[in-house]
Amino acid sequence: MARLVLLPSQRTHTGGVGEVEVEALDVRSAMAELLRRFPALPATEVEGCNVAIDGELVMSPFLEPLRAQSRVVFVQRIGAG
């Protein structure tokens, strides 16, 4: 099972849950499962993040395959200006 690590801002919508294990073949299906489990979590809270898989930031993560032991971390985007 892949392990999803949530940001503190996302945890306010999950009852404080910070890590979730899901069965998913790719990041898109992992996000869908996360949103199914936590209906109070707005999709924009997840889809608006960068994603690191097993320690590597992935630029286009949605179809990125996951291994059974993958660790997916949602990373808040930093605006520049």
Q: Give residue-wise pLDDT tens across range 36-46.
A: 999 999 999 88
> What sign has the CA pseudo-torsion 58, 64, 69, 73?
positive
- Report how far residue 67's alpha carbon sits from residue 52's, in angstroms, rounded to the nearest whole number: 13
**How many beta carbons lie within 10 A of that of residue 34, not counting itself?**
23
pTM of the model: 0.88
Cβ contacts of 25 within 8 Å, gap of 6 or more = 65, 66
Is the pLDDT at 28 greater than 90? The verdict is yes
Is the pLDDT at 33 greater than 80? The verdict is yes
Q: Which of 39, 25, 14, 38 is nearest to 72 (CA)?
A: 25
Domains, the chain: 2-75 (3.10.20.30)
Is the pLDDT at 81 greater than 70? The verdict is no
Question: Residues 59-70: pLDDT tens digits?
Answer: 889 899 999 899
